[in-house]
Structure 1
């Protein structure tokens, strides 16, 4: 099973029409999914969501051949703090070679979406058979929000 990537609006009360990239990862999935599931313990809490500090990791969004591509980069120092071996991930961020790409996901998307796509990416950890709508409406399932890459 690989991570599921969706594009959904309605995740922000401040901007209800904003579209968000939403990743769903399985806690016992690929090494990248397992690393993503561990990130929640290294985030700070606020407004029924968790936030990863941008100095530890981020999500890189791009459009390629009719698809939205999200690559999650986590600094190797943060991976070691999570007891995840950075050497398990051979791809590195083009923006920062100290950040390993732990997960890449794609979904079909209209390039015009880029004008209303939020910079943040939401990540939920759930079993593969849990529908996204159930995660979005659950009061118990909090997303981890990943900011865009830091400015270089």
Structure 2
């Protein structure tokens, strides 16, 4: 099952900024495996892989301190990543042409909620790998997902 975190102190130039971090298991659910495969469809830069927003994004909802994040991707991008979109019947709330691969939720303290940055970082690791180890490993590059496009 995907794990969702909100952490601050990650960006050296802005230690107060809070970031949403999703950890997916490459051997986990079909949605987690699909998200893990997206890394091969991203472009590299600055120690991360970036998924182009026209291909996919992170959809967020925040209600009473509960943050839910869903990963939505267009079928063409999934096919390029070697994933059959037919296995994902749920659709994006932003763009019904995009499929929803997975969603995860966590509670967020009000102080962190006020400092949330826009991108969502996605790391690929098994359930036994703690987040702190992922964040400390310079070799582990996250997939960075932009927020949902407006007016899609």
TM over 0.5: yes
The separation in 2 between residues aligned to 1:142 and 1:29, in whole angstroms, is 19
Task: Mark the runs of 5 or more structure 2 residues left unpaired by the alignment.
Answer: none
TM-score of the aligned structures, taking structure 2 as reference length: 0.94
1:1-152 equivalence runs, <5 A: 2-111=1-110, 113-152=112-151
Do the aligned partners of 1:23 and 1:123 also contact (CA within 8 Å) in 2?
Answer: yes
1:63 and 1:111 in contact (8 A); partners too: no
**TM-score using structure 1 length:** 0.94
Contact 1:8 1:20 in 2 (8 A): yes
Cα offset for 1:13? 3.1
Instruction: Name the Cα RMSD after superposition.
Output: 1.3
Cα distance change, pair 111–76 in 1 and its aligned pair in 2 (3 A):
farther
Task: Output the CA distance in 2 between the equivalents of 1:97 and 1:112.
Answer: 33
SS in 1 for 2:4: strand
- 3-state secondary structure, aligned to 1:45: strand
**C-alpha displacement of 1:128:** 0.8
* 8 Å CA contact retained: 2:8, 2:112: no
